[in-house]
Amino acid sequence: MTRRLDPGLEARRHLIEGYEEFPAIPAEVAQQWGAPFGPPEDWRLDIRDATVPGRHGPVPIRIYTPHGPAPESGRACLVWMHGGAFAWGDLDMAEAHEVARGVAGRADAVVVSVDYRLCPVPPELGGTIDGRVDERGRPVRFPVPQDDCEAVLDAVRAAPGRFGVDPERVAVAGASAGASLAASVTARAARAGRPPWQTLLVYPLLHPELPAPDAELADALRAAPRALQFPAWMRAAIERTTWGDGEAATPDSHPAIGTDLAAFPPTYIENCEFDAFRSSGQLFAEQLRAVGVDVVEATRPGVPHGHLDLVGFQPAHDTLDALGARLRGDARPAPLPGA
């Protein structure tokens, strides 16, 4: 049987077929590929921008609070970290704003979206330092983004009344690079004896070297447009932006190589069918299970890496349903293929 993308994406396949890498796709074509599939969802929320103090200066955040009365103990809370290879993205991208809105609405939970400091775009991808420096004027690299995200988790738990949340029900989550940050923040908090309530990781890359795909994943990657496979250029960009040339990965930058994974809280890992990074999410789930962590692992069918950035896309809504279910207290949402 021929493997195909979700029908909505398959109808756009011709736009990117033939390109070897996503950066080679002309901007106008990339915009057509990522154009909304429908209008944004409509949720009744109070949305406000704020900052919290961080090790490298103030950290901007955006807080999404549902309308209506909250439980006396406060709402559940999700500290959310968008993706973008540590060098792209902001609070307005769909993977930040639409995800935060959708989860807050579905779960009647507060979502705190983190505008962590971005690393410079690698020169081979047309980037410059462009003001992306830390408090000492050095290019932003590990552990600056991790420190920013940790500061937000600490701020929420230290002042739950400010956010209207239950300090015992604060989860961390992210997508892609944001999932790596969420895992790093979880590992730090767990080592300190204060793991978050739960951790939710969507299409994460958690290992310094991408694990080899199994036969099924290799078959899926052959069936997908080559530009969606995030080959060497993406891994090189992440290496450059995360810890810099000549520096070794550590358990703090890549929790999957740590030795204290048993301290992780209940964890949800959602991978994508047509995503080379799925091998990392699958292996991390195995590592957590091996040390007794409660793990739910799922593979979202029909989608490549980054589907949460597609506005009005049903599989993205399905992923938000799964995240919302976790925050509502359903530790095991309806399983997907691969769960």
pLDDT at 175 over 70: yes
- Does residue 130 lie in a domain region? yes
Q: Which residues pair with 271 in a beta bridge?
A: 299
The DSSP result for 150-176, as a single string, is HHHHHHHHH-HHHHTEEEEEEEEEEET
> Mean per-residue pLDDT for 53-64?
97
Q: Give the distance from CA 235 to its chain's centroid.
A: 16
- Does residue 233 lie in a domain region? yes
**pLDDT tens-digit map of 10-58:** 999 999 998 988 888 999 999 999 999 999 999 999 999 999 999 999 9
pLDDT band at 247 (very low <50, low <70, confident <90, very high): low
CATH number of the domain where residue 166 is located: 3.40.50.1820
- Does residue 339 lie in a domain region? no
- Does residue 235 lie in a domain region? yes
Expressed as residue numbers, the domain containing 76 is 7-327
| pTM reported for the whole predicted model | 0.94
Average pLDDT over the chain reads 91
- Does residue 163 lie in a domain region? yes
- Does residue 287 lie in a domain region? yes
- Residue 250 has what pLDDT? 84
- Residue 177 has what pLDDT? 92
Q: What are phi and psi of 59, to 5 degrees?
A: -110, 115
> What residues contact residue 246 under an 8 Å CB cut-off, 6+ apart?
none
- Does residue 332 lie in a domain region? no
- The total number of structural domains in the chain stands at 1
Write out the two tokens for 27.
């901007």
- Residue 2 has what pLDDT? 74
